[in-house]
Amino acid sequence: MSARHQFSAAAFRWQETDGNPDVVAGNCKAVTNAVRDIYAQDMTNVIFGDLYRRAYSLVLHKRGEELYSAVEAAMASEVQALVGSLAVAGPSGQSFLRELLATWRRHTAAVSAIRDIVMYMDRTFVPATGRTPVRELGLGLWRDGVVRSGRIRLRLVEAVRLEKARQEEDGVVGVPGSGDLVAGVTEMLTELGADVCHEFMEAPTVSS
């Protein structure tokens, strides 16, 4: 759990639901609304202790399936919205890469906050059912929904190629601090998987 989201023991107390469908739906809705607000970077209504309690209660009362499905769908929806914003990013290679990396950082910060809310689900329901942990779910959504999407993939390959060419032309290849954009993209792709990094960084042309 991050230091930013420490919870008191009182936050762990759950309310008896007895499978009440209205309470279950309300708790799921509260968590998915928080996912939306976290991605929007609007933390006004995001109360981590209350949200943790709701998620904890759902899993404790055998409603982990509903919670997991709701969180997965909410995250997927938000990632698709990020694709839309990236699709209209500036035309130049550098501006596109900057926007991509800023959006990636926003996504990873959101996933970290969501993990704090559904920590109990991630530690109990997920391994018990063989589901994908929230962190890996976030990586997969970004990999397949963003960098491999038809609207982003070719722009990313071309932007990296152009940035590498610019560095070579300026004679700054290998100079410390000169390749921040390419280094940032490489780090992002490596986190998504070695095969993903090779797929993009070694692509010789935009048409490959």
Strands (DSSP E) contained in the chain are none
Model pLDDT, residue 8: 41
Compute the Cα dihedral for 23, 80, 108, 103 and give only its sign.
negative
Rounded to whole angstroms, how far apart are CA atoms 204 and 90? Answer: 23
Q: Which ranges of the chain have pLDDT less than 70?
A: 1-19, 89-91, 171-179, 203-208
| Segment 39-65, tens digit of pLDDT | 999 999 899 999 999 999 999 999 999
**What's the CATH number for 3-201?**
1.20.1310.10
Cα–Cα distance, 201 to 159 (Å, whole number): 10
Please compute, for residue 132, the number of CA atoms within 13 A of its CA located in the half-sphere on the CB side: 11
Structure tokens at 116: 């704090």
Residue type for position 82: L
The span from the CA of 120 to the CA of 16, in Å, is 17
Residue 181 CB partners (closer than 8 Å, separation 6+): 94, 97, 98, 101, 163
- pLDDT score at 10: 40
